Structure 1
Amino acid sequence: MSADADELRASLKKLNARATQAKMDLHDLSEELPTNWEMILEIAQRCHDAHAALMDARKAAAASAA
């Protein structure tokens, strides 16, 4: 396995962990509503950005594997 493949795998793992944490943060916030309702947009944006980065990285990985 090449160093590039290892780097890509490590990057995907980090992005996946970040996206999973963002999803859990959004879930936790939803369970606590209306407490901290002011945080909805911030946490939702963070969740959106994390998942967008993960999906982009997965597409790039698939393209490089093809």
Structure 2
Amino acid sequence: MKSTFDLMRLWAMLTGLALAVWYFGELWLGAKATETLPMLIAAIGGFELFHYAQDILIKRGRTNG
């Protein structure tokens, strides 16, 4: 079973992807994109990158046996 934190990371990923699709959709349709949208995407991406790197470091620190 996934922890609450893992589910929060899943929702963050889905939200970031949805915002990115929205942003590039605005650009493709020629609408004026807001300044807030790229900042939200970058913040969520930074959240995910930090925790991905943290997972790698935790897995590297484990010893077998």
State the TM-score, normalized to the length of structure 2. 0.62
Distance (whole Å) between structure 1 residues aligned to residue 9 and residue 23 of structure 2: 21
Task: Report what 1:32 is aligned to.
Answer: none
Flag the structure with larger Rg.
2
Query: In percent, how many aligned pairs have the same letter?
Result: 13
Task: Report what 1:19 is aligned to.
Answer: 20
Task: Report what 2:47 is aligned to.
Answer: 57
Alpha-carbon shift at residue 46 of structure 1 (Å): 4.5
Distance change in 2, residues 1:46/1:18 (3 Å) = same
Higher RCO structure (Cα 8 Å, ≥6 apart)? 1
Q: Pairwise CA RMSD of aligned residues?
A: 2.1
Q: Number of matched residues?
A: 55
- Residue-by-residue CA offset, 1:20-65 (whole Å, 9 max, x unaligned): 1111101110xxxxxx7xx3xxx16345324423431331231232
State the TM-score, normalized to the length of structure 1. 0.61
Distance (whole Å) between structure 1 residues aligned to residue 23 and residue 43 of structure 2: 12
Task: Report what 2:8 is aligned to.
Answer: 7
